[in-house]
Structure 1
Amino acid sequence: MTDSLPAPLPLHALSADADISARLAEFVRDKDAFSPNTWRQLLSVMRICFSWSQQNGRSFLPMSPDDLRDYLTHLQEIGRASSTISTHASLISMLHRNAGLVPPNTSPAVFRTMKKINRVAVIAGERTGQAVPFRLNDLMALDRCWVNATRLQDLRNLAFLHIAYGTLLRVSELARLRVRDVTRAEDGRIILDVAWTKTIVQTGGLIKALSALSTRRLEAWIAAAGLAREPDAFLFCRVHRCNKALLTEEAPLSTPAIEAIFSHAWQTIGPAEPARANKSRYRGWSGHSARVGAAQDMAKQGYAVAQIMQEGTWKKPETLMRYIRNIDAHQGAMVDLMERLRPDAESNN
């Protein structure tokens, strides 16, 4: 996704109406009210939808319900996932609201179109993609491989994966951690002061405590990298090929670099055969894998949904349930009833 519309089209020039342009200019000035990812998605959707509108002689802003319906159908025809199409519809609605316009999504025709798109996708076999879970036993296997590593990169990767699994933080949240965010509990274990997350944006922030083992692994990385006296440096930084940490205060570890940590872990202890492709991806561990695996392990150990949601800062139970649906499947009321009745039924035969 790009961060801007194709030149020379600025956001406020999307409409010839002066009032709409003024509201869009205000919208841009207030873009910090939204996460960078949301803003990038909005600009990407605007670019794609504007291009389609130009090519097909349709109005982009305001967009009529009929035009939106045709645009969403077009996305389905070119193979976009139903979740992606839903995102397009939501962001087009968001743009209209902030331009002071009635979103075309309010039309029953658009509602029916989205319902049809979802129904067709489900019947055709589309399923929500899910990262390959990185479970506790995977973490322990890596721990045995890398605990005495001489390569600084392995020590960093091991500490990172311990923190990723133990905190259930998103990769962007992990990358933002700085050395000054590390404090100690009375028993010596590390506490991380997370300034904000995708779903928690408040001055109090979020506190994440580490286990004794994860504390030792993070301590080993901090000592080896020489981070202890660099409070403003990012906690997880790049490592030069000469086995030296490249301390920085300017830019966190990039998403591709974090994905490479999970990829290296998969190459080290993962199965010989790659995982079955899920929506043409997820052939090994990826940035979301530790979060998914930790949630599944907690569910398997009987922790309540509310507890898991709190650990992972999920706001909607539906989001979490997508991760633990397979783990939770055999804990349903009907399965429990059948298991309870089975001994009596077998004794009668």
Structure 2
Amino acid sequence: MTSLSPMAGLVPTDDEDIAARLREFVQDREAFSDNTWRQLLSVMRISYRWAAEHGRQFLPMSPADLRDYLLWLQASGRASSTISTHAALISMLHRNAGLIPPNASPQVFRAVKRINRSAVISGERAGQAVPFRLRDLLLLDARWSASDRLQQQRDLAFLHVAYATLLRISELGRLRVRDISRAADGRIVLDVAWTKTIVMTGGLIKALGALSSERLTEWLSCSGLLNEPDAFIFGPVHRSNRALPVTDKPLSTRSLEDIFARAWHEAGPEQAPRANKNRYRAWSGHSARVGAAIDMATNKFSTAQIMQEGTWKKPETVMRYIRHVDAHAGAMVDMMERRQQE
């Protein structure tokens, strides 16, 4: 992406200072993840179209216009979390254009508070992927570990690594064979170059347990990828049951999501969960992270330990995943039950 399309129509032609700062912003786009950049472009297109249709100015956007835009998003059926993302990215665009973000206004603060309050009262709840738990992984392991189909061997190895490392789906896709080393006892150690929340030269080290190391080794041996250090670990498998050592780009998010779909078809619960925000009816790309966090909480690991394993920066995120764990073990429940036993 070489330009912030539709940038030409967003910036006043007589304001060269804003245009110059936005050109610098585009030149430094590598400072942001691809997902953040895609979200920014999407928000720009939607908000620019709204401004054009309602006779408002897009850049700079006044607090009153931002307030009306956010309320329009709510009236259009957008979730409160989505509206918050729009507000944050519009603020980001203004800051990088050298403009005062309209979000700082009390008008916008009140609008956001109104939107969030209305969402909670109306019954909106944060969406959550269907957890992929350790019991699910072991069930699939029992069914697929003896398979002679390379796709199932790859899928099983992928699910083992996804659950054991709590890496995001894009981070799993970027792993290459050269990122693998071995501990003294033979277990695999993965050198993860960077994650969504950890971007530093030291990277991140993830170790696999014995069973996960075994399944990943089996996949690499049977696929022939052990001799392809630059190949992505989880590359495509041809319908002729032959692995393709790809080095230019990882599998698409859709292809990696399909691994969870095949796992659900093989070992998912007979009764599908209730739809959550019209989705999350089966395992998806975030399911292994959610399931692993829940299993760690169930086994009494601390929130800090779970955050470290999943590279989460905010404890609120983890608490949203594990909020149902030990729900009946609160202080009041404990006090009342002890009182009843006296």
Specify the SS of the correspondent of 1:100.
coil
Specify the SS of the correspondent of 2:265.
helix
The letter of the residue matching 1:10 is: M
Aligned residue number for residue 11 of structure 2: 14
Over 3 Å counting, the alpha-carbon distance change for 1:36 and 1:3 in structure 2 is: farther
* Rounded Cα–Cα distance in structure 2 between residues aligned with 1:182 and 1:86: 39
Q: TM-score, normalised by structure 2?
A: 0.97
Once the two structures are superposed, residues 248-270 of structure 1 have per-residue CA deviations (whole angstroms, 9 ceiling, x without a partner) of 00010111011100000000011
2:255 is the counterpart of 1:257? yes
Report deviation, 1:13. 5.4
Aligned residue number for residue 117 of structure 2: 119
Aligned residue number for residue 275 of structure 1: 273
Report deviation, 1:161. 0.3
* Rounded Cα–Cα distance in structure 1 between residues aligned with 2:336 and 2:152: 48
* Rounded Cα–Cα distance in structure 2 between residues aligned with 1:316 and 1:12: 38
Percent of aligned pairs with the same amino acid: 67
* Rounded Cα–Cα distance in structure 1 between residues aligned with 2:293 and 2:198: 18
**How many residue pairs get matched?**
341
2:235 is the counterpart of 1:204? no
Q: 1:218 aligns with which of 216, 222, 239?
A: 216
Alpha carbons 1:13, 1:21 under 8 Å: kept: no
* Rounded Cα–Cα distance in structure 2 between residues aligned with 1:57 and 1:27: 27
Over 3 Å counting, the alpha-carbon distance change for 1:287 and 1:144 in structure 2 is: same
* Rounded Cα–Cα distance in structure 1 between residues aligned with 2:198 and 2:61: 33
Over 3 Å counting, the alpha-carbon distance change for 1:181 and 1:122 in structure 2 is: same
Residue ranges of structure 1 left out of the alignment (5+ in a row): 345-349
Alpha carbons 1:237, 1:252 under 8 Å: kept: yes
2:159 is the counterpart of 1:161? yes
The letter of the residue matching 1:61 is: L
Report deviation, 1:318. 0.3
Report deviation, 1:343. 1.0
Alpha carbons 2:10, 2:59 under 8 Å: kept: no
Q: 1:51 aligns with which of 42, 49, 61?
A: 49
Alpha carbons 2:11, 2:59 under 8 Å: kept: yes
Q: TM-score, normalised by structure 1?
A: 0.95
Alpha carbons 2:177, 2:228 under 8 Å: kept: yes
**Aligned ranges for residues 321-336 of structure 1 at < 5 Å?**
321-336=319-334
* Rounded Cα–Cα distance in structure 2 between residues aligned with 1:97 and 1:271: 47
Aligned residue number for residue 107 of structure 2: 109
The letter of the residue matching 1:280 is: N
* Rounded Cα–Cα distance in structure 1 between residues aligned with 2:200 and 2:8: 29
The letter of the residue matching 2:51 is: S
Report deviation, 1:15. 3.0
Alpha carbons 1:4, 1:43 under 8 Å: kept: no
Specify the SS of the correspondent of 1:191.
strand
Give the root-mean-square deviation of aligned CA atoms. Answer: 1.4
Specify the SS of the correspondent of 1:322.
helix
Alpha carbons 1:275, 1:283 under 8 Å: kept: yes
Once the two structures are superposed, residues 57-90 of structure 1 have per-residue CA deviations (whole angstroms, 9 ceiling, x without a partner) of 1000000011101100110011000000000000
Report deviation, 1:153. 0.3
Alpha carbons 2:307, 2:313 under 8 Å: kept: yes
Specify the SS of the correspondent of 1:86.
helix
Once the two structures are superposed, residues 10-51 of structure 1 have per-residue CA deviations (whole angstroms, 9 ceiling, x without a partner) of 369523311111111111111111111111101110010001
